[in-house]
Amino acid sequence: MIRKLTLLAAAGMLAVSPALAADKVKIGYVTTITTPAGVIGKDVVDAVNLALKDIGGKMAGLPVELFMEDDGFKPAIGKQKTDKLVKQNKVDFVAGYLWSHVLLASRKSALDAGKFLISANAGPSQIAGKLCHENFFSTSWQNDQTPMAMGEVLNQKGVKSLYVMAPNYAAGKNMVAGVERTFKGKIIGKDLTKWGKDAQLDFSAELAKAKASGAEGIFIFYPGKAGGAFIKQYEQAGLRGKIPLYSVFTVDSIALPKLQKAKMDGVMGSVMTQFWAPDLDTPQNKKFVSGFKKAFGRYPSFYAAQAYDSIYLIKSAVEAVGGDMTNMDGMRAAMVAATFPSVRGEFTYGNNHFPIQNFYSREVVEDADGVWTTAIRKVILKDHQDPYAKDCKM
């Protein structure tokens, strides 16, 4: 009886779903709005709204409906929200995901339901490799790539020994693995610290160890607010000028205003690697950065840039099929082609649907208005593909 009803209902839904799907494009977005990491989520939300405004709120003539959900910085909640977006809101695309562990937990919910899953930040090695999926796309990078570029920078600078610190979660481990991949010197110490809702923010013991290790450099990955706290303590411990600091995803337009306010000018001129910077010279990026600054009065972060891209990627897919969202193959082919205007300029997608793109070194500078920002220096890795793509059977 129940089975029969289920079948009937399913048949009924199939019959009506194109009609339903055709009247709007539903996008579910999972990011972090509460907890201290909510500061990153704020950038993402702003960028998504800006992108929607820039495309006039329409894709292929259909209005876009956006469902923004908060993962609370917890994998379990992120998964729950993904389920909700898929099952209750019946979205066509699930996008967002700042954190690798949240993405790993939510992956199955979105993909099993036959939805497109678009990561606008997290790039865990598993999803680039063994767990790759035809309906997954990234508008960011695979975690290992940026620290791999940093490893090259360290080699060029002739750094011989390194002390490595990162948070103890999926992305943190990838970042450490990435720098180990390319760095030719010796890694003489490593600390993985507690992450998540109750992340460790006092690094006294670790900094003392780093100092005692006699390393020629400290490599860190501390996204969000932990980055600012780390740099502050690094300076308070008097390590500036003794052991240079090399970072990825730590000194960004979220940390810089605070560092500037606290007059931590030690951060000036510090070098990091990234696939993007506010001054990257592409038409789409100029439009994005100036639009963002005009709307919100601050520089966008790379999180914002990737989120902005994610909306344009979805738009390219919806428009390729003329708004017929039942045509998954058509939308997929359009996304694989990566023809949308990206803030990073032209790029291609690898077999695992992670971008093959350039990684630059960038430096903290003061702009014409006296605001601290980052500027591109040179290309470190050209058209770089992540090392896990070969494990992806696609």
Partner 1 sequence: MDWTLFVTQMLNGLQLGVLLFLLASGLTLIFGVMDFVNLAHGSLYMVGAYFCASLTDFTGSFVLAVLLALPLTALVGLAVEFIVIRRLYARDHLDHVLATFGLILCFDTAVQFLWGPEGMAIALPAVLDGQVEILPEIVFPTFRLLIIAVGLVVALGLYVVVTRTRAGMLIRAGASNRTMVAALGIDIQRLFALVFAAGSAMAGLAGMMIAPITEASIGMGNEIIIIAFVVIIIGGIGSIKGAFVAAVLVGLIDTMGRSFLDTLLKVVVSDQNAETAAPALSAMLIYILMAAILAFQPQGLFPPKGR
Partner 2 sequence: MDRITAFSPRGWSMTVALSLLALLPIYVAVTGQTFYLDLASRLMILGMAAVSLNLILGNGGMISFGHAAYLGIGAYCVGIPAYYGIYDGLIQIPLAVACSALFALVTGAICLRTKGVYFIMITMAFTQMVFYGFVSMEEFGGDDGLVIDLRSQFAGLLDIEGATGLYYFILISLLAVLFLVYRITRSRFGMVIEGARANERRMQAIGYDTYRYRLVCYVIAGAICGYAGALLGNFTHFISPEMMDWTASGELIFMVVLGGTGTLFGPVLGAAAFVLLEEWLSTITIYWQFLFGALLIAVVLFWRGGINGFVDWAADQIPGRIITRTRDWIRRAPWRQRS
CB atoms closer than 10 angstroms to residue 63: 12
| Residue 109 contact partner, candidates partner 1, partner 2, none, CB within 5 to 8 A by sort of partner | partner 2
Radius of gyration of the chain (CA): 21
Query: Which positions from 160 to 199 touch partner 2 by CB under 8 A, shown as an x/- string?
Result: --------xxx-----------------------xxxx--
Question: Judged by CB, which is closer to partner 2: 1, or 368?
Answer: 1
Are 151 and 129 in contact by the 8 Å Cβ rule? The answer is no
β-bridge pairing 161-167 and 372-384:
unpaired
The one among 54, 65, 83, 324 contacting partner 2 by CB under 8 A: 83
Question: Judged by CB, which is closer to partner 2: 198, or 369?
Answer: 198
CA 160 to chain centre: 30
Residues in the chain: 394
CB of 361 to partner 2, least distance (A): 30
Give the footprint of partner 1 on this chain (CB under 8 A).
33-39, 41-42, 168, 173, 190-194, 197-198, 200-202, 204-206, 208-209, 211-212, 225, 228-229, 232-233, 235-238, 254, 258, 261-263
Pull the structure tokens for residue 40: 């990153």
* Single-letter amino acid code for the residue at 275: F
How far is CA 372 from each of CA 222, 238, 289, rounded to the nearest angstrom? 19, 22, 15
CB of 214 to partner 2, least distance (A): 28
* Residues 215 to 244 in contact with partner 2, rule: CB under 8 A: none
| Residue 206 contact partner, candidates partner 2, partner 1, none, CB within 5 to 8 A by sort of partner | partner 1
| Residue 201 contact partner, candidates partner 1, partner 2, none, CB within 5 to 8 A by sort of partner | partner 1
Residue 129 to residue 386: CA distance in whole angstroms? 9
CB of 216 to partner 2, least distance (A): 28
| Residue 14 contact partner, candidates partner 2, partner 1, none, CB within 5 to 8 A by sort of partner | none
Q: Which stretch binds partner 2 (CB under 8 A): 58-66, 106-114, 271-279, 289-297?
A: 106-114
Q: Which run of H or E residues covers position 326?
A: none
Q: Does residue 105 interact with partner 2 by CB under 8 A?
A: yes
What angle do helix axes 302-320 and 38-54 make, rounded to 10 degrees?
A: 40
Residue 226 to residue 251: CA distance in whole angstroms? 10
Are 169 and 196 in contact by the 8 Å Cβ rule? The answer is yes
Both ends of the chain: CA-CA distance in Å? 41
* Residues forming the site for partner 2 (CB under 8 A): 2, 5-6, 8-10, 13, 33-34, 70, 74-76, 79-80, 83-84, 87-88, 100-101, 104-105, 107-109, 168-170, 194-197
